[in-house]
Structure formats: structure tokens, C-alpha cells
Structure 1
Amino acid sequence: MVAVKQRNMILLLLFIGWAIGNFDRYFINYAVLSITKDLQLNPTSTGLILSSFFAGYALMQIPGGWLADRLGSRRVLISSVLMWSIFTALTGAVWSLGSMIIIRFLFGIGEGGFQPASSKLISQTFPTDKRAWAMSIMLSSGGIVSLIVPLLSAYMLTTIGWRTSFLILGGIGFLITILFWVFIKLPADLKDEEKTLAGDSHQGIFKQIIKTPLMLNLFIAYYSIYAINWGLATWLPTYLVNVRGLDLISLGWMQTIPGLAMIFAMYLAGYVIDKLPLGKEKVVGAMSCIVVGVLLYLMYNAPSVTTFVAYQTIVIIFISFVMLLLPAIILKRLPSSVTGTSIGVANTGGQLAGFITPLAIGFIVQTFNGSYNAAFGMLIILAIICTISLLTLNLQKGELLQADA
């Protein structure tokens, strides 16, 4: 059993690691405005840049989870942070569209193992009734980052430029790698458990997970909610500047409001999800997706930027709840021995959405001569799909997998 002090240290480090990884992912959405000008890119090429990270990230989800179950969460976490730090720094040295796409793809490969491995580590070190709370603490760093990135990005881009900014972010990543190496330590009993799971007893679990109807629904739900999230995150800065007429500084201040909402939503969601009776998760999640769909329609048709941001803020609250609910179902329903692989399988859907959605929106906007009508319509349809996938979630099948494991 992990001591409270040690598991709190682990959670702090996961919080910091997730924060710097998210900073880079959000920063590129603002930096791409400068990158597009420097490299003379069209909207479709911009979409390729935004999507290339998610291609690598999605491809690494299942291998990353499998490696965390087989080799141990600590090794995968340290390797992940080190690799993404290298390619974050290299982003500042790109010279063409092709080099940018390759480096961002490899950055995605590096970061791809972090969430499956961190989820496994949480399941190993926290009791069941604290796992959603622990996950909410880690994921809330994304909300904090989304709060400071708009303002800090505007400052960095107008002072030191995007190339130097990526070099600095890479350097910070190297420091975090050292912290992970020094301070993340597992007790002897957990190390022995990981060695046991690396043996023959773990063979066949991957096939069981893939065939479980629970995982198929979660895969679709992950895809849908993350498509909405990253569709908004990657294209809203460009939309608000080009369509709504905001400058970078005004954009930065306006986007601090949804950032605050995300932080609040993550902490509240962690508490609420841990209190939900088993079996009620899918109903509450489906209702949240319905609200997201309605608010997306109202947001796009908002008569002013202020009203737009107000609707966006509420959308972020419900999206954050669903994004925490989905991994919490796995953490609570499945044993820690298969958590890494299970999160990897489900989160592959989310990261495929991160790859496809920015590219699709870029293509749609270019096809419709700068109009975002069809793009927002696509996001609303995805909210409906997420609702259906959660309502049809078969939680009993997850319990069967737990019994088999």
C-alpha cells in the first residue's frame, strides 16, 4: 500500500507533467497564427499542423497503455516526458510544412504514453473511492493551463517569438523528466505485482478488452467528446480573430473565463463522480452531452462576442465533466492490472478525434470560403453521437471483464 504522503507527491508530479504537456498543445493553437504567416500556409495546411500531433498521440495510446501494464507505469511516464520534451524543443527549429508535420507527429508519439501510464499509476496508488478525485486533480492542470495560455501566448508570441517559446517549453520538459526520475518511486509490493503482470498471466487480456462492448461504447464516447473539445480548442482562436474581429490581446483576456470554468468543473466533477451510485454514470453523462449540443448551437448564433464566450464557458463545464467521467468509469469498473491498456484503447478514440477534427474543420472552412456553419453543425452531431453511446453503455460487460482479469 502506498503511503498518503507518497501518493500525494505522485499526484503533484502527474499534475505538473500534464500541465506542461497541455501547455504545448494549447500554445500551438495560438502560435499557428504566426507559423501560418512565416511558412505561408493555407487553412488546410494549418489543419495538418494541428492534426499531426494527434496522429502520433492516437497511434501511441494502445501501445503506451500496453507497455505501462507490461513494463510498469514509472518507466513509461519517464520515457514519455523525455521524448515529448525533445520534440517540443525541435518544433522551434522547423523550416517547412513537412518538417513541422513530422516533428509534431513525433511529439505526439512521445506524449502518447502519458495518460495511460498516469491512469494506471493512479489506479495502483489510490483507493477506488479516491480515483476520480485524483484524476480530476491531474486533469485540472489542463484547465489551469487553458486559463494562462491565452495571455501568456500573446505575450510570448509578441516578445520572444514562437521559435524561442518552443525551445523554452522543451527545456522545462527536461527538468520535469528529472523530477519524475527522482521522486516517483513504487513500493516493493507494487513492483512485484508489475513483474507478475509482465508474465504469461497477462497474455490475452488485450483481446478481451477489445471484444468487450463496454470498451466499444467508451471508444465512441471518447471520440465524440474529444472531437468537440479539440475542434473548439484548435479553431476558436482563429475563428474569434478572423470572424469575430478580436485581436490577440483581447482574445487572451476573453479566453481566461472558459479557462476558469474548466478548473472549477474538473474539481467539482471529481467530487460528484466519486459520489454517483454505480450505474448512474451513463445517464448523467448522456444528459451532459445533450446540454453540450444545445449550447453549441446557441454559442455559434450568439449576437455578440460576450454572449458567445458566456455560452462557451458553460459548454466547457459540461465537456469537462464528460471527459473526466469516461476514464473514471474505467478506473472504477476495471482492475488496475488492465487499466493502462483499457485507457489506451478508449483514449485512442479521443486522440483520433484530435487528429481528424482540426483537419476536417480546416477543410470545411476552406471549402465554404471561410464559413464555419458546417463546422459547428458537425460538432453538434458529435454531441448527439456521444449521448447515444453513453445511454447504450453496458456496464455489466465491464464487470465480466473484471471477473476474468
Structure 2
Amino acid sequence: LSAFLLGYSLFQVPGGWAGDRFGPKTVLTAAILLWSLFTALTGLAPGLPIRAWLGTAGSLMLIRFLVGVGEAAAAPNCNKLVANWIGAEQHGVGSSAFVMGIGIGGALTPPLIAWVMEKWGWRSSFYLAGVIGVAVAVFWHRYVTNSPEENYRVNSEELALIHRARKVKYERPPAQLTTPWRQILSNRSVWGVLLGYFCQGFPIYFFHTWFFIYLVRVRHLSIAQGGVWGATPYIAIAVLAPTGGWFSDRAVRNLGKRWGRRLAVCIGMFA
């Protein structure tokens, strides 16, 4: 399980850099295809040729690491899309759409995967997830654009409204962009964000990885029951994420960026 997180953590920054360099649409399309491919290959891991060198456990670890590499690009590039499309005063609501998607997917997946496992075995659940991911990548590449300026469906009035909300016009970044690493790594806010996400990771990934196992092995629920109850935290995410985004935006308007965002984060963490 940690092999996925190793790939996910190591490639967050490269995934964000790639989004700046090539655009979030292209990077996310490639990322979705990558993690979908290796998710499907998880079901084939015991029979892959690399098993001769790495063994079954090693093959699974390598594949899960590569799934993490693909998924690492999701968060930074989704946040970049929010910044490109939505004004700063509504960033909370915009970002909550991404989080709500995680909640909806997490709520639907456990019961579906549990049903597939009971009908056709554990391997089939990985094949199905991979196929769904490829379909999402095709949809994403077909309909998503890096900015409203690139989307022919956005008319001039809508574009003017977006520009007023953003207060600055979107400009494609230069091909060669020097990253100010010294400035970034010496910024206290960056280290504060890192610490916050470090503390956030434990409870989140308990539900991502161990909650279903806990329900089935410790609480002795059936696979189907574990799938249903395992979805409950994600239902809460799907329902409450838009509320949290709205509250964050409102707190920023009333208290300013610094204290408004701190208040929203602290309430969420202590809840």
C-alpha cells in the first residue's frame, strides 16, 4: 500500500511542473491513462514477466508505485485549472468541486467493487477500474481546455465575466520557465502547507486503504456490507465539500485571506 504513496509523493512536484510546461489538459490526460493502465495491470501482476525478477509482491509494489506516479499529477493540475477558470474570490467553491468528485467516486466505488469481486473475483475489479479510467481520459481530452480562452463554447460575455472575476487575463506561460527553488523552500507558508498535509494524510489514507479491511476482518462484515459502509466517509465528503468551499470563500471576504483560510482549515481539522 505504501508503494502507491511513495510514487504519489515523489511525483507531485514533477506533475505540477509538467502542468506549467505543457498545460493541465495534456498532463492530466496522460496521467489518467497512466494510472488506469497500471490499475488494470494490478490484476495481472502475478502472471507478468517481471515476476521472475521481482516476485509477486515486488511486481505488485512496482505497479502500485506507477499508479501513484500517475495520480500524483491530479491535485496540482486540477488546482491550476481552478486558478485559470475561476476568480480568487471563488477559489474555495471551485476547489471543492475537485474534492466533491473524490467523494462521489469514493462513495460509488466500494459497493461497486465489492459486487464485482463477489461476482467475478478480485482481478476483475482492477480491470473494470482501468477501463473506466480510459473512458474518463477520452472524455477529458475531448471536452476540457486549459483556460476559458481556449474553449470555443465560452462566448465573449462569459469570457468578460471570468476576466473580471480573475482580475487578470490568462497568459500561456513561457516555454522556458526558471523555478525559484530557493525562494519556495525558504517560504514558511510552503512548510506550513507541507506539515498540514502530512498531518492530514494519516486519517485520509486510513479510509482509503484500511477502513474496508477493518470492517471485513475486525468487524466481520461481508464484502458487500463492507463496501456499503466503506462508502460512508466519502458520502460525507461529497455532501460537505461544497459547504466547506462556500464557507472558506465567505470567511476570506469577511476576515481576509490569511485569517479566513486559516479559520476554514482549522474548523475542518478539528471537526
Structure 2: which amino acid aligns with 1:111? Answer: E
Whether 1:77 aligns to 2:57 is: no
Partner of 1:119: 79
Provide runs of 4+ in structure 1 moved above 6 Å.
189-192
Structure 2: distance between partners of 1:243 and 1:64: 37
Match of 1:128 among 84, 88, 101: 88
For residues 201 and 193 of structure 2, the distance between their equivalents in structure 1, rounded to whole angstroms, comes to 12
Q: Is the 8 A contact 1:76 1:113 kept in 2?
A: yes
Contact 1:70 1:194 in 2 (8 A): no
CA distance in 2, matches of 1:107, 1:101: 10
Q: Which residue of 1 aligns with 2:143?
A: 183
Match for 1:153 among 113, 119, 123?
113
Shift of 1:227: 1.6
TM-score (norm 1): 0.55
Which letter does structure 1 place at the counterpart of 2:200? I
Q: Name the residue aligned to 2:205.
A: 230
**What is the CA distance between 1:113 and its match in structure 2?**
1.1
Match of 1:24 in 2: none
Residues 169 and 191 of structure 1, relative CA distance in 2, 3 Å threshold: farther
SS where residue 265 of structure 1 aligns? helix
Whether the aligned pair in 1 keeps the contact of 2:244 and 2:264 (CA below 8 Å) is no
TM-score normalised to the size of structure 2? 0.80
SS at 2:44 equivalent: coil
Asked if structure 2 preserves the Cα contact closer than 8 Å seen for 1:241 and 1:251, the reply is yes
CA contact (8 A) 1:53 1:106 kept: yes
The 1:56–1:257 alpha-carbon spacing in structure 2 relative to 1, beyond 3 Å, is closer
CA distance in 1, matches of 2:267, 2:137: 40
SS where residue 132 of structure 1 aligns? helix
Q: What is the CA–CA distance in structure 1 between the aligned matches of 2:142 and 2:207, rounded to whole Å?
A: 37
Please say if residues 89 and 169 of structure 1, whose CA atoms lie closer than 8 Å, have aligned partners that are also in contact: yes
* Number of residue pairs the alignment of both structures matches: 239
The structural deviation recorded for 1:230 is: 0.6
1:104 Cα deviation (Å)? 0.8
The 1-side partners of 2:24 and 2:4 are apart by 22
Mark the runs of 5 or more structure 1 residues left unpaired by the alignment: 1-49, 292-317, 319-405
Q: Give secondary structure in 1 for the equivalent of 2:83.
A: helix
Looking at structure 2, the residues matched to 69 and 223 of structure 1 have their Cα atoms a distance apart, in angstroms, of 24
Residue among 255, 259, 266 paired with 2:234: 259
Q: Which whole-Å deviations, capped at 9, do the CAs of 1:356-397 have from their partners, x for residues lacking one? A: xxxxxxxxxxxxxxxxxxxxxxxxxxxxxxxxxxxxxxxxxx
Distance in 2 separating the partners of 1:81 and 1:91: 15
Instruction: Please give the alpha-carbon distance, in whole angstroms, between the structure 2 residues aligned to 1:256 and 1:170.
Output: 20
Match of 2:172 in 1: 194
Distance 1:232 1:256 in 2: 9
**Number of the residue aligned with 2:7:** 56
* Cα distance change of structure 1 residues 93 and 121 upon mapping to structure 2, 3 Å threshold: same
1:188 CA displacement: 5.4
Name the residue aligned to 1:273. 248
Q: CA RMSD in A?
A: 2.2
Question: Deviation at 1:174?
Answer: 1.7
Q: Distance in 1 between matches of 2:150 and 2:266?
A: 41
Question: What runs of 5+ residues in structure 2 fail to find an aligned partner?
Answer: 47-55, 152-167
What's the CA shift for 1:284? 4.2
